[in-house]
Every structure is written in C-alpha cells, then in structure tokens.
Amino acid sequence: MLRTALVTGLLTALALPAYADPVIGKEAPAWSAVGWVNLQRGRSSLQPTDLRGRVVYVVLYAPDDAANARALRAVARLRSRYGRTVAFVALQTDAPSKPRPTQLAYLAQYQLRVPAATEWPIAGRPTIRDRYGAGTGPWAVLIDARGIVRASRPVRPAGDEVRAIEALRAPPSNPLVGTAFGSLSGLRWLQPSRPVAFAESGLTLLRWWTTNCPHCTASVPSLSGLANKYAARGLRFVGVYHRKSAFRVSDASIRSAFQRLGGAPHALAVDEGWRMLRPFMQRGRLRQATSISILVDQQGVIQWVHPGPRIHTSRATRYAGPARDLAALDAFLNTRLPAASATGSAR
C-alpha cells in the first residue's frame, strides 16, 4: 500500500509561475461559459462545484492553434485512460478567427467527448483565463476532489499529466496535511546560520535523520537527489538532525555525516531534544519511525507527509514500497512546481 500522504486537503498558494499564484490552493473560480455540450441529460450548464468528489482536469484551448489541436488529442488519450473516474472539461476561451464547425463537431475530430463550452470575452470583465491565472496557448487546470485548484500551467506531455492526476487521486492519509507547520526558529541552524523562510522557496522538504541509521543512509541521498533535480524550480531541502545516541555529537560531526549522505549543498539544522519532532509525531500519529519527511509550501502549510523510515530508489523487492513512495513524491513535486525555462530557472 502506498504510504505516502499526498495532498488533497486544504492548501494556500503554491510556488507556481507568477501568473498562477493567486488561484493555487483556493476554491476553483466559476466558469463564465455558454453553449455547453456533452452534459448529462437535464443539465444546461456546469460549474466546478458540480464536480466535487472527483479530480477535475480542465483544458483551456483556442480552435485555430496547432498547439491546441495537439493538446486536445492528448486530453482525449487521458480521457480514454481514466474514463469517468476523472472529470474532464474543455473550455474554448478564445474566439476563432475563421468560421469553424460547432464545438461538438470540433471536439469530435479528436474523439474528445467531454463537457465543453465557449467563453466570449466581454470588455471590462475578467475572463476564465484571468481568473485561473492562465497564459496563452493550451492550458491545464487541475482541481482536486474538494474543489481546490492544485495546478494552473501549460499542458504538459502525457506522462507528466498522468503523474499529476495520479498524485491528486491519492487519498490523504495523515492529519498533518493542510495544517500549519509552525515556526522554523525552533531548530538550531548549522547551514545557513539563520532559519530559512518558507516564503523564500516554492516548496520546502524537511527530513529528520540521525547518524548510524540505515534508513537515513538509504533515504537522505535519494531526497537530496530530488532536491537537486527540482532546485531550479523552487524546491529547498532541509536535513534535520535529531540525536538518538546518549552521547552528544559535535556540529562538525553532524556536518560531516550530512555531507557523506550527499546533503552538503542543502540546509542543515538540529532539532534539540526532538522539540519539533515530538509534536509532529503526536499530531500526525507517526509511530512507525522518527525519520519522517514533511513538505511545506510558501505559506507554511504542510502539503505532504511521509511516516518513514525509508523513502528511496531501489530495485530490490523488499524495498518496493520506499521506491514507490519516492516515485509518488517525484510526481507530486513535478505537478506542484513551475516548469523550468530553457536556461534552467523556474518561470
């Protein structure tokens, strides 16, 4: 069973591109569209609130753009994969520059039979793209089962979209998700010498670890690798040392051990007397291990919790669970963080 606690609870804004910041983590805005087609019998319109209980994938498109045509074909394949377990909606948000068939016939060209409507922009009134912080071109909006916008960004390759949907479909399994992490000042910081701020990064991943811990030895390098992979997109990794030995360990030894685990480029702190760890273990009912991992957004809200002790890559059957958990976290991060530009920095 997948142990990773993925977010479907309450969220505030995440570190997506600047144009998407206002809507992420908030209730999905209404759709000001007309001419709905492919609705259930008896319905004449559709709103996000009507789809609560299912993950919703909305594609915003314009019929005259070749890129939009490719996006609609990709969405049709996703629709075929998920059937009715995921709600797909197509919204035409740009008036075509030339005559075209009805929207029903247009979508039929791509074997895309999903609820669809058209918005005709009205001067002085915010458009759907405005309300969802959407840019130009084919755009994807992902809404979780509670009606909260989790992503608003350009349509991505099919594999990325599948991982994004799967991350949202995973049920929450920890009561910490959606709650405030609290202040980082309760930790003693070794690098940097001052507490980091959640607002400085898109997402912050904290892993509690200690020396002479085989679980930490296996997990920290994999989490550090994810941090390196997503650093340009706004992910910060913090190794939080918590002593289990009866003997005090020097700061130099802690730094050296962290460096051997591949954590050298990342932030390092000490949780003296488990001052922060114990409350998290109680609130989150984390009794399996002390080597837990917590992902926090820019507003200090917990997005994901791993109960430990292991989360790492492995081809061994005995560690299939930790490997699946790491893959799920990878997909979750890829969904939540903005895409990197051609130069490697987040857009």
Instruction: For residue range 99-154, list pLDDT tens digits in order.
Output: 556 777 788 888 888 999 988 777 777 889 999 999 888 999 999 877 889 999 99
* 237: pLDDT strictly greater than 80: yes
Decide if 118 is inside a domain.
yes
Do both 134 and 203 map to the same domain?
no
CA–CA separation, 241 and 271 (whole Å): 6
Note the pTM of the prediction, 2 decimals: 0.56
CA–CA separation, 244 and 115 (whole Å): 56
Do both 193 and 329 map to the same domain?
yes
Do both 114 and 200 map to the same domain?
no
Confidence class for position 20, pLDDT limits 50, 70, 90:
very low
Domain residues for 199? 184-336
- Sorted by sequence, the CB contacts under 8 Å of residue 206 that are 6+ apart come out as 238, 240, 293, 294, 295, 296
8-state DSSP, 159: H
CA–CA separation, 107 and 114 (whole Å): 9
- 141, 334 contact by CB (below 8 A): no
Decide if 220 is inside a domain.
yes
CATH of the domain at 49: 3.40.30.10
* 13: pLDDT strictly greater than 50: no
Do both 142 and 192 map to the same domain?
no
Instruction: For residue range 151-196, list pLDDT tens digits in order.
Output: 999 999 888 999 899 888 765 568 898 899 999 999 999 999 899 9
8-state DSSP, 301: B
Provide the 10 A C-beta neighbour count for residue 193. Answer: 7
CA–CA separation, 242 and 254 (whole Å): 10
Instruction: For residue range 202-231, list pLDDT tens digits in order.
Output: 999 999 999 999 999 999 999 999 999 999
Among 96, 118, 147, the domain-final residue is 147
Q: Give the chain's domain count.
A: 2
- 89, 56 contact by CB (below 8 A): yes
